[in-house]
């Protein structure tokens, strides 16, 4: 079973691997973790956003005909923070933007789905002889 830190790390790396900025990746990781804590499948909802945004110029504009859910969610969260609200993040954002959420039987998965791992893998530096000589794994 994945820990909260592992869910957060996989979500952050996968979002970055899809081309989002580090700040957006952090927001996605927080929201994904909050979904799992609430008992929802955060990786499935995150995967939908990442597949739709993959390899497009980031960040997507809030004025796009069909804006990216993560971009819109972050925008709404920022508005809520400026207005003094503190509940405009995580479950509420993804539920509003991604449609139906699927309730998990357990709070955390045994492992990250392959699509999340594939996006996360894009952030890894390729190995080289130089990196091995310097002690990289």
- Which pLDDT belongs to residue 80? 63
d(CA 103, CA 113): 16
Which residue range forms the structural domain that includes residue 9? 4-133
Question: Cα 27 to the chain's mean position, in Å?
Answer: 7
- Hey, what are 136's tokens? 């990289």
The predicted model scores a pTM of 0.66
Place of tokens 């900025």: 21
- Asked if 21 and 68 touch (Cβ cutoff 8 Å), the reply is no
- Which pLDDT belongs to residue 9? 95
Total structural domains in the chain? 1
- Which pLDDT belongs to residue 51? 84
What residues of the chain score a pLDDT lower than 50?
85-91, 99
Three-state secondary-structure class, residue 40: strand
């Amino acid at each position: 079973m994945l820990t909260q830190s592992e869910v957060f790390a996989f979500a952050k790396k996968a979002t970055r691997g899809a081309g989002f900025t580090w700040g957006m990746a952090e927001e996605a990781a927080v929201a994904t973790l909050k979904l799992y804590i609430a008992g929802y499948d955060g990786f499935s909802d995150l995967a939908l956003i990442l597949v739709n945004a993959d390899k497009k110029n980031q960040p997507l504009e809030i004025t796009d005909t069909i804006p990216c859910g993560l971009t819109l969610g972050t925008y709404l969260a920022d508005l809520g923070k400026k207005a003094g609200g503190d509940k405009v993040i995580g479950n509420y954002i993804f539920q509003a933007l991604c449609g139906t959420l699927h309730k998990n039987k357990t709070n955390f998965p045994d492992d990250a789905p392959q699509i999340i791992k594939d996006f996360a893998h894009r952030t890894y530096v390729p190995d080289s002889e130089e990196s091995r000589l310097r002690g990289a794994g």
